[in-house]
Amino acid sequence: MLEFEKMYREQGYKAICGVDEAGRGPLAGPVFAAAVILPENMIIEGVTDSKKLSEKKREQLFDEIKEKALAFCVASASVEEIERMNILQADMLAMKRAVEGLQMKADFAMIDGNKTPVLEIPATAIVKGDSKSESIAAASILAKVSRDRLMKELAVRYPEYGFEKHKGYGTKAHTEAILKYGPCEIHRMSFLKKILAGVEYGGKSKK
């Protein structure tokens, strides 16, 4: 999990940050991203792709990563920004904000996926980086836990949708709630076109 970190350190970079996002696919809520700079050669036991971890384990690692990291930042792009610029660009914006918000300036960024945001520092995209890089995996956990916590808070405001369970993803229960109650202000309307096509709220057909 330190192969990429070591490779870029050998090229002369010192403050290497891993960057990942959470919430690109859901029907509701903002997209989150995190950037993490870990001490050289640090392995935090249990850190891997956040999707492979239980919620309890992610919560445990969340605090440990923040405690041991040299720097970290969690950022987001709003539903309004997702709708205005599309999810890919909003995703890039959240990652850019995370990198620029680090308490110490990074000199190189490793980005999970196949695209990089426009940054003032050199960056590389690493496909499935959250399972290949300790720094990216740590970022994936911070982003995922931060977003899940927000969706639980929003579930209190919008209890009919069950955000505390599915975190905004397009589960059967979530889809049924949208059809019954209609979308709320944190839904991504551009993501709901197929669900709402030809249907009135309450589940009745418009035809």
* Cα 91 off chain centre by: 8
pLDDT (tens digit per residue) in 69-96: 999 999 999 999 999 999 999 999 999 9
Largest pairwise CA distance in the chain: 64
**CA dist list (Å): 14 to 3, 11, 105:** 15, 9, 10
Q: Distance (Å, rounded) from C-alpha 152 to C-alpha 178?
A: 17
pLDDT (tens digit per residue) in 16-44: 999 999 999 999 999 999 999 999 999 99
pLDDT reported for residue 205: 44
Q: Which helix (H) or strand (E) holds 140?
A: helix 134-157
Q: For the chain, list the domains and their CATH numbers.
A: 3-154 (3.30.420.10), 157-196 (no CATH)
Q: What's this model's pTM, rounded to 2 decimal places?
A: 0.93
Tell whether the torsion through CA atoms of 6, 11, 14 and 20 is positive or negative.
negative
pLDDT (tens digit per residue) in 89-120: 999 999 999 999 999 999 999 999 999 999 99
Query: 1: helix, coil or strand?
Result: coil
pLDDT (tens digit per residue) in 159-189: 999 999 999 999 999 999 999 999 999 999 9
